[in-house]
Amino acid sequence: MAIRKIHGYPVLILGAGRGGAALLEMFIEDEHVEVLGIVDPDEEAPGIQLAIARNIPAYGNVSQALPVCKEYPDCIVYNLTHDDAVAEEVSRALDNKKVTSGLEAKLFWQIVTDLKRIKTELENSQNQLNAIIRHAMDGIVTISESGEIEGFNPAAEEIFGYAQEEVAGKPVTLLLSPDLLAQYRAELQRYLESSHHGSAGIRGQEVVAIRKNGEQFPMELSASEMKIKEQCFFVAIVRDVTERKLIERKIKHLAHHDHLTGLPNRSLFLDQLEHAIKLAKRRQQKTAVLFLDLDGFKQINDTLGHDAGDELLKEVAIRLKTVIRESDVAARMGGDEFTFVLNDIGTHENAAAVAEKIIETLSEKFNLKGHESQIGGSIGIAIHPNDAVDHEALLRKADEAMYVAKKSGKNTYRFCLPVEE
């Protein structure tokens, strides 16, 4: 009978109880071992069942297995039956070949059991770690010392739009916006030239990253250097903060803008007016402030309701923005009052021309809830530095001039003082 070719050391296991099954399980996973068979009279023994499932010869008694073992002079026999008579029978049949048995086999079984327990614990820990990485809501990117991507968890795939296979081995610069490339390369060069004392680390830094589709987005980055067996690499925790930035921007906008019209509110207007006056002083220019109060707004509110009044204010804001320059400012102070900053206005005539345009655009009819409505506007004008040098005083002067316009028949404008060029 031809001897079958095997790969690894030939092994025969006597006893298929817990010890024999554990030993068989370990040997199955070892490429340096070839199990010739396992012996046990109990067909339900766990080792016998495992052998059958893995196509390994299973024998009911030692005499059936020994001929196979004789074909391989270097065969190693492990006796886990706790029966020394079995070990003696095998030793005689194999010309006094030593059989691992008794206390020696028990010790070996204990070592195998401990190794299996440790292996299971390590596998469980690894599985837990992998589960955490896979299910983490933040992206986790592992980067080699030279800057190549080694790991990419599912959250990182979702953030950047790449599958792990697409980025593995690619430079991490693939994920950085063009503005960051020079900074990154400089940092990497400094690191490579340093003595690598684990000082590299980033916590909560906001950067601009880039997705697979080319879209740039704000990203929060934390990164730390790690060393395993003298090999250095980096673990980066990344978070897409696009939504957070939008919310922050919206909150900031709401804090400084009128919620109904979207125009700057009183607080922002005063800041912009103060800045405009400082700029005008440096450049020796004139700045005009216009204060507008709508004529006929209360009647619309009373007859058509507040919803119609709100729609009117929105439409007024749209029209007002069309009659001023981009460098100028239109704001809603509250109610039906609006203000303007006209930068580098030049002459009083230019300020008057803008006031006339505002009155003209307000004179066009508004369609509110299917009703055609018409309003007007009374405007007061104050000029810096002629009328006041302080931003609050300038606004007050424009407000006073607006009331003069109201008393003059409405739907007109007035300067706060007689013009003296």
- Which residues carry out catalysis? 336
CB 359 within 8 A of CB 295: no
Token pair for 129: 């770690």
Distance (Å, rounded) from C-alpha 109 to C-alpha 115?
10
Strands (E), 269-386: 287-295, 329-334, 337-342, 366-368, 371-373, 376-384
Strands 337-342, 366-368: pairing kind: unpaired
Cα-based torsion angle of the residue sequence 390, 396, 397, 401 in order, rounded to the nearest 10 degrees = 160
Q: Are 15 and 22 in contact, with CB atoms under 8 Å apart?
A: no
Residue 3 CB partners (closer than 8 Å, separation 6+): 71, 72
Q: Half-sphere exposure of residue 130, counting CA atoms within 13 Å on the CB side?
A: 6
Four-residue CA torsion sign, 158, 138, 124, 29: positive
Q: Return the residue matching tokens 């058509």.
A: 304
Instruction: Look at residues 383, 307, 308, 397 and name the one whose alpha carbon lies nearest to residue 348.
Output: 383
Backbone φ and ψ for 232, nearest 5 degrees, come out as -95, 140
- Cβ–Cβ contacts within 10 Å for residue 186, how many? 10
Diameter of the chain measured on Cα atoms: 131
